[in-house]
Amino acid sequence: MRLLLSNDDGIYALGIRTLANTLVAAGHQVTVVCPDGERSATGHGITLHDPIRADEVTGVFAPEIKAWACSGSPADCVKLGLGAVMDERPDFVLAGINHGPNLGTDVLYSGTVSAAMEGNMEGITSVAFSLSSYTSRAFQPAADFAVSLVAQLKDQRLPEGVMLSVNVPAVETQEIQGTKITRQGIRSYNETWEKRQDPRGRTYFWLAGEAIEDIEHVDAHNPHRPELPPTDVQMIQQNFITVTPLHYDWTCYEQVAALPEIAL
C-alpha cells in the first residue's frame, strides 16, 4: 500500500525512521514528508504568509523511501505531501512515532495528531502513533504494531471523518498487556511560569509544569450516564496499547437541543 508519513519531532527523529523503515520492510511503499526541525505542540497551524520550502533528504531512511524535509508545520507537511510530492493518493496517512505520549487533552496541542487529522480531513484513513515516554528510545514495538494495524484497517476501513490516536507503552513487547479501545481522557497540567533574564537584562518567561495524569469527567458518578470505555490515560498506565477514535467535528450535540434560544 502507498503510505504518507509525517511527524512533529522532525525529519531526523528516531521515531519516524523506525516507523518508515519497518513499514518498507513489510512491503509498503513509503513517502516521508516531515518538518525540518522539531515542531512539537504546534497544533494544527498552517503556513499562509510565508513560502514553504522543501528539500529531498537522502541517507536517513531505507533507500526505497522518498523523504522530504519541509519548513512548515506538521499539517503543512501532509498538505505538501498530498498536493505536491506524491503522484498518487496514498492509502493511509500515518504520523509519528511521537517521542512522548499524546493522551487525553494533549491531542489538542499535538502536531503529530494534527498531521494525522489533516489526512483524515482529506478523506484518507489516518493514524497517529505515540510512544508514552520522553526518554525511552524503544520505538520498535510501536512500529511493529503499526504494521499490524495497517493490515487490519486495509480490510476494515474507519468511518468517514474518524482517525485513530494510538499510544504505545514504553515497555518490552512481552510486557504489553494487549490493546484497548479507549476514550479521550482529560490530562491537565500544573503549570508554572519561570521568570528569567537574558544576558542583556531583558525579561523572558519559560513555561514549565507537570501533567496531572487523569481527571475523570465531571459526570463520572452519574447513575444515568451510559457505561463508558476506559480512558487512554488509565489504560496506558496498565501497559495496554490504547486506540482512541477521534474526529474533527467538535460540536457538542447534547447541547444543540438543550441550549436556550439566543436572542439578538
Q: pLDDT tens, 206-259?
A: 777 666 665 555 455 555 455 788 999 999 999 999 999 999 998 988 888 888
- Separation CA 47–CA 126 (nearest Å): 21
Q: What is the pLDDT, as a whole number, of residue 176?
A: 96
Q: What is the pLDDT, as a whole number, of residue 255?
A: 85
Neighbours of 192 (CB within 10 A): 10
Q: What is the pLDDT, as a whole number, of residue 201?
A: 83
Q: Which residues, in sequence order, are bridge partners of residue 165?
A: 128, 244
Question: What CATH topology corresponds to 2-181+229-256?
Answer: Stationary-phase Survival Protein Sure Homolog; Chain: A, (3.40.1210)
Q: How far, in whole angstroms, is CA 40 from its chain's centroid?
A: 10
Contact predicate 7/112, CB 8 Å: yes
CB burial class (10 A; 0-12, 13-18, 19+) of residue 215?
middle
- Separation CA 263–CA 55 (nearest Å): 53
Per-range mean pLDDT, top range of 41-50, 54-63, 226-235:
54-63
The values of phi and psi at residue 140, to 5°, are -65, -40
pTM: 0.89
* Burial call 36-52: b when 16+ CB within 10 Å, e when fewer: beebbebbbeeeeeeeb
Contact predicate 167/241, CB 8 Å: yes
Q: What is the pLDDT, as a whole number, of residue 218?
A: 46
How does the average pLDDT of the chain come out, rounded? Answer: 90
CB burial class (10 A; 0-12, 13-18, 19+) of residue 1?
middle
Q: What is the pLDDT, as a whole number, of residue 157?
A: 85
